[in-house]
Structure 1
Amino acid sequence: MALVLALFCAAPLAAQSAAGPVAADRGSVVSPVLTIDSERVFQQSDFGQRVAAEEREKLSALESENREIEAQLETEERALTEKRAQMTPEAFRVLADAFDAKVQETRTAQDTKFRELSAQFDAERVKFQQAAAPVFEQLMREAGAAVILERRSVFASATVVEITEEAIALLNETLGDGTGAEDR
Structure 2
Amino acid sequence: MRPILVFALALTALILPLRPGSAQQLGVAQSAILTIETDRLFAESAFGRRTANEIEAESAVLAAENRRIEADLMAEEKDLTARRSEIAPDAFRTLADAFDEKVQSIRKAQDAKARALNQRADKARGEFLNTARPVLETLMRESGAGVILERSNVFLSANATDITDRAISRIDAAIGDGGKNGAIGDQ
How does 1:1-184 map onto structure 2 within 5 Å?
16-17=17-18, 19-20=19-20, 22-179=22-179, 180-182=181-183
Identity of aligned residues (%): 45
Distance 1:94 1:15, change over 3 A: closer
Partner of 1:5: none
> How far apart in 1 are the matches of 2:87 and 2:14?
89
TM-score (norm 1): 0.88
Report the Cα offset of residue 173 of structure 1: 0.8
Unaligned segments of structure 2, at least 5 residues: 1-8
AA of the residue aligned to 1:71: A
Deviations 1:109-167, CA, capped at 9 Å, x for gaps: 11111111111111111110110000100110111111000000000011111111101
Partner of 1:4: none
Deviations 1:33-62, CA, capped at 9 Å, x for gaps: 000111011110000000100110011100
Aligned-residue RMSD, C-alpha: 2.0
TM-score (norm 2): 0.86
- Comparing both structures, which one devotes a greater share of its residues to helix? 1
Report the Cα offset of residue 177 of structure 1: 0.3
Report the Cα offset of residue 75 of structure 1: 0.5
AA of the residue aligned to 2:97: D
Query: Is 1:36–1:164's contact at 8 Å kept on the other side of the alignment?
Result: yes
Query: Is 2:47–2:178's contact at 8 Å kept on the other side of the alignment?
Result: yes
